[in-house]
């Protein structure tokens, strides 16, 4: 997944915001909380990090092209980094990014979810 596709996909999710920080990384948030980070440093392939459930973390960290996300996973959080092309297919990566968005959004207060159009009464 290239930078344009990553940013276009994340922009298409409900109530997202984008900042560039941490040395030029594209950081996507929902309700002010990070759900995806893509670093486009000097590596040949981007490191795309996203939140997962604890079960998915246990499974995905053992897969080729995937690893516990640097910094985030070392702090006890269930975050995975897709860092090599032999990792997830583009469609699977997009599904995990969408799920990360949903996981982070679910952690927001109900009031905040309503304000952002994430929760319909």
Give a yes or no: residue 36 inside a domain.
yes
Structure tokens at 25: 């990384």
Is 118 within the bounds of a domain?
no
**Domain hosting residue 67, numbered range:** 3-113
Enter the pTM of the model. Answer: 0.92
Which CATH number is 38's domain given?
Answer: 3.90.1150.30
How many structural domains is the chain composed of? 1
pLDDT tens by residue, 58-106: 999 999 999 999 888 778 789 999 998 889 999 999 999 999 999 999 9
Q: Give domain status of residue 45, yes or no.
A: yes
Instruction: Please name the helix (run of DSSP H) or strand (run of DSSP E) that holds residue 83, with its range, or none.
Output: none
Identify whether 54 is part of a domain: yes
């Amino acid at each position: 997944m290239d930078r344009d596709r990553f940013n276009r996909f994340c922009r298409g999710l409900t109530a997202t915001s984008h900042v560039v920080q941490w040395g030029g990384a594209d950081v996507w948030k929902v309700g002010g909380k990070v759900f995806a980070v893509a670093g486009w440093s000097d590596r040949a392939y981007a490191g795309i990090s996203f939140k997962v459930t604890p079960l998915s973390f246990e499974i995905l960290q053992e897969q080729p092209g995937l690893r516990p996300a640097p910094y985030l996973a070392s702090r006890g959080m269930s975050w995975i980094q897709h860092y090599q092309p032999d990792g997830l297919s583009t469609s699977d990566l997009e599904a995990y990014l969408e799920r990360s968005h949903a996981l982070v959004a679910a952690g927001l207060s109900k009031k905040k979810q309503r304000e952002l159009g994430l929760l319909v009464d």
